[in-house]
Amino acid sequence: MNKSYQEFLDSKRIVATHHGRDVQYDEVRNHLFPFQRDLVYWAVRKGRSAIFADTGLGKTAMQLEWARLVADRSLILAPLAVARQTVKEGEKWGISVTYARKQDDADPNGITITNYEMIKHFDPTYFEAVVLDESSILKSFTSKTRATLIDTFQNTPMRLCCTATPAPNDIAEIANHAEFLGIMSRVEMLATFFVHDDAGWRLKGHASKAFYRWMASWGMSIRKPSDLGYEDDGYKLPALSINPVIVATDWKPEGQLFATSLHGITERSQVRKDTIAERVARAAELVNSEPDEQWIVWHGLNNEGYELIKALPGAVLVEGSQTPDQKADALEKFANGDIRVLVTKCDIAGFGMNFQRCARMVFVGLGDSYEQYYQSIRRCYRFGQLREVKAFVVLTDPEQVIYANVLRKEQDAVTIAESLIDNMAEFERDEISATTREHDEYKTSEVSGNGWKVMLGDSCERLNEVADSSVGLVVCSPPFSSLFTYSNTERDLGNSMGYGQFFTHFSFITNHLMRVLMPGRIAAIHVQQLPTTLGADGVIGMKDFRGDVIRHFVEQGFIYHGEICIDKDPQAQAIRTHSKSLLFVQLRKDSSWMRPALADYVLLFRKPGENPEPIKTDLTNEE
């Protein structure tokens, strides 16, 4: 194989590059489980990566070991109250972690931790490494906050994100992580792997394997150790029971004789406000029925919390109006077993906290967010829990539709997460073991008959087998840049990141075409003009792909000989592409956007020199 072509194919493989430190494996402390130790070793070598690990798999221990190894000064950003928990975790393993609220309190020679809200009080240039703990909460941050985090740490050499396994269709979460880590921007990611249609953004038909390989090159997704080929000893969870508790009520929407189904946010909010007393009373009965058990009582409205405190003597309320230290103190006491009943909201204590001591919880009402529901249950139901966890969801009759919606999202999330793990497992194991393989099998074949021969394979290579000046006519229709991608392999011309890479790849073919074509003979190349999109290109318009192909062939030494224009049906093209510029609705809305359908062309190029075998046609002048 041509060495320069193989080097080019290697460069096309879309994986994250290494920015980390070359440490010895025995530098990673062995208090970690084998899978944790290998993940840390991989992440340290990568330098910029994500560990998407399910709750209880030891993300805190892994991120502390990573921060210790990659830099002299590391900063960890964590949700409220998780910071103290991380400090204690570090003490357990002999790693010093300093909790700070401002730059002056940061550790000059070690690991500093603060909560996300305090980032404005720190100088990012002071730190060589940054960790985002429970980084999935970036999704719920405002776009301004996300942009601030990305901009703040864009020059930080080492970056690590730690959170639970994302769904492959959660484009926002994956894009946020890739952009924060400096792997790829959202626009680049969408243009490379996704297409947009009536259903929104979805993976390109042949891009799934490339997408999962790309994700595995910078993010490790794991629900249990066996996902990466390790033993699950010590990581098998006890039973979990979810118990809906339906409270009868005579509530009905205004203007109706009786409640049927809830419609929209307004009715969901109203029934929750109007039925606080009934739900609180039932939740209190459940908590008081097991007085020797610790309980977490999750609520969503402030008034629910206030009524719960009245109904549960000795319970402690953690709410948003308290100072960070007050919240952290209460959550720490509950984790230590000093508080029996904790009353709080999912967005305050639902992320990152370790409450394995507790095995009982009750939701006093429910929102439509599956993630909050899942994360809240996982505060207790996580690896390290030794008892059956019982969760109760207290709802009124009309609110059952909300519970059904969350259960549907749960099933979807499980299916999607399993798909992600299954698709990424092979690539992740390669990454962990630092091995490479040819993931897409390359096959060649050929068949021939009387006066014909068909060769299967990569044109860039198989054209080597064609003799110089032996071809009388070239006819081809190359992929139109990356508009059409036919396979996962890097050998596919259409599997290119943008114009530049496409034409670099195409040149390996056009160089051969110039060599194998007889002097004076024609190469007929079919092309199509290309639209630009707001998401991928920043503007809605056109690329002159026809003109660029002409310039490319002329640069290779061909003579631009002529062209055939093939007009297209604008209505058929509008139905297929949904282009704004072709739709009848745009004609009425603002016709300045209207344009003709994009035409196809057959471009004709002639190889310089005299044709050694003149072609004598039998066509008549009339024909």
Assess whether pLDDT exceeds 70 at residue 438: no
As a whole number of angstroms, the distance between CA 521 and CA 610 comes to 9
Query: Percentage of the chain surpassing pLDDT 70?
Result: 87
Assess whether pLDDT exceeds 60 at residue 258: no
* Whether 328 contacts 83, CB under 8 Å: yes
- What is the Cα Rg of the chain in Å? 31
Assess whether pLDDT exceeds 90 at residue 463: yes
Q: How confident is the model at residue 308 (pLDDT cuts 50, 70, 90)?
A: very high
pLDDT digits (tens, 9 = 90+) for 213-225: 888 888 888 888 8
Among 124, 115, 132, 110, residue whose Cα is nearest residue 156: 124
Q: Note the CATH architecture for domain 12-228.
A: 3-Layer(aba) Sandwich (3.40)
Assess whether pLDDT exceeds 90 at residue 352: no
Q: At what angle do helices 59-70 and 34-46 cross, to 10 degrees?
A: 40
* Per-residue model confidence (pLDDT) at position 262: 55
Q: How confident is the model at residue 443 (pLDDT cuts 50, 70, 90)?
A: confident
As a whole number of angstroms, the distance between CA 342 and CA 347 comes to 14
Query: Percentage of the chain surpassing pLDDT 90?
Result: 38
* Per-residue model confidence (pLDDT) at position 288: 93
Q: Where in the chain are the domains?
A: 12-228, 240-413, 445-606
* Per-residue model confidence (pLDDT) at position 213: 81
Q: What is the residue type of 66?
A: W
Among 510, 511, 501, residue whose Cα is nearest residue 12: 501
* Per-residue model confidence (pLDDT) at position 609: 95
As a whole number of angstroms, the distance between CA 276 and CA 450 comes to 86
Q: Would you state the structure tokens that stand for residue 202, as one six-digit string? A: 């979805």
Residues 9-27 have a mean pLDDT of: 75
Residues 561-571 have a mean pLDDT of: 91
As a whole number of angstroms, the distance between CA 386 and CA 388 comes to 7
Residues 37-62 have a mean pLDDT of: 90
* Whether 501 contacts 12, CB under 8 Å: yes
**107-143 as b/e: b if 16+ CB within 10 A:** beebbbbbbbebbeebebeebebbbbbbbbbbeeeee
Q: How confident is the model at residue 584 (pLDDT cuts 50, 70, 90)?
A: confident
Assess whether pLDDT exceeds 80 at residue 429: no
* Per-residue model confidence (pLDDT) at position 152: 92
**3-state class of 274 per DSSP?**
helix
Q: CA 9 → CA 15, 152, 442, 490, 506, distances in Å?
A: 12, 34, 13, 6, 12
**CATH 3.40.50.300 correct for 240-413:** yes
Check the CA dihedral 369-375-376-382 and report its sign: positive
Q: CA 591 → CA 511, 568, 582, 596, distances in Å?
A: 44, 20, 10, 12
Which of 95-99, 245-249, 265-269, 334-338 shows the lowest mean pLDDT across its residues?
265-269
Q: At what angle do helices 264-274 and 276-289 cross, to 10 degrees?
A: 60
Q: Is 253 exposed, middle or buried (0-12, 13-18, 19+ CB in 10 A)?
A: middle
Q: What is the residue type of 412?
A: D
Neighbours of 25 (CB within 10 A): 10
Q: How confident is the model at residue 1 (pLDDT cuts 50, 70, 90)?
A: very low
Q: How confident is the model at residue 437 (pLDDT cuts 50, 70, 90)?
A: very low
Which of 65-69, 190-194, 540-544, 613-617 shows the lowest mean pLDDT across its residues?
190-194
What is the phi/psi pair of residue 455, to 5°? -115, 125
Q: How confident is the model at residue 204 (pLDDT cuts 50, 70, 90)?
A: confident
As a whole number of angstroms, the distance between CA 65 and CA 314 comes to 39
* Per-residue model confidence (pLDDT) at position 192: 76
* Whether 216 contacts 427, CB under 8 Å: yes
The pLDDT mean for the chain works out to 84
Which of 198-207, 396-405, 463-472 shows the lowest mean pLDDT across its residues?
198-207
DSSP conformational letter for 247: E
* Whether 521 contacts 607, CB under 8 Å: yes
Q: Is 226 exposed, middle or buried (0-12, 13-18, 19+ CB in 10 A)?
A: middle
Assess whether pLDDT exceeds 70 at residue 439: no
**3-state class of 532 per DSSP?**
strand
Q: What is the residue type of 485?
A: T
DSSP conformational letter for 469: T
DSSP output for 44-61:
HHHSEEEEEE-TTS-HHH
**Length of the chain measured in residues:** 623
More confident residue, 122 or 168: 122
Contacts of 555 (CB under 8 A, 6+ apart): none
Assess whether pLDDT exceeds 80 at residue 435: no
Strands 316-317 and 111-115: unpaired
* Per-residue model confidence (pLDDT) at position 269: 76
* Per-residue model confidence (pLDDT) at position 88: 87
Neighbours of 265 (CB within 10 A): 9
Q: Which of 42-51, 270-279, 375-384, 431-440 has the highest mean pLDDT?
A: 42-51
Segment holding 610, helix H or strand E: none
* Per-residue model confidence (pLDDT) at position 257: 47
* Per-residue model confidence (pLDDT) at position 249: 79
Q: Would you state the structure tokens that stand for residue 22, as one six-digit string? A: 């070359």
* Whether 282 contacts 393, CB under 8 Å: no
* Per-residue model confidence (pLDDT) at position 594: 87
**3-state class of 115 per DSSP?**
strand
Which of 25-34, 37-46, 391-400 shows the lowest mean pLDDT across its residues?
391-400
Q: Within 93-220, where are the H helices?
A: 143-152, 171-180, 186-193, 208-216
**3-state class of 395 per DSSP?**
strand
* Whether 443 contacts 456, CB under 8 Å: yes
The CATH superfamily label for domain 445-606 reads Vaccinia Virus protein VP39 (3.40.50.150)
Assess whether pLDDT exceeds 90 at residue 142: no
Q: CA 379 → CA 162, 165, 219, 383, 549, distances in Å?
A: 16, 16, 23, 10, 58
**3-state class of 490 per DSSP?**
coil
Tokens 């599956």, located at residue: 370
**3-state class of 505 per DSSP?**
helix
As a whole number of angstroms, the distance between CA 116 and CA 75 comes to 11
As a whole number of angstroms, the distance between CA 506 and CA 458 comes to 12
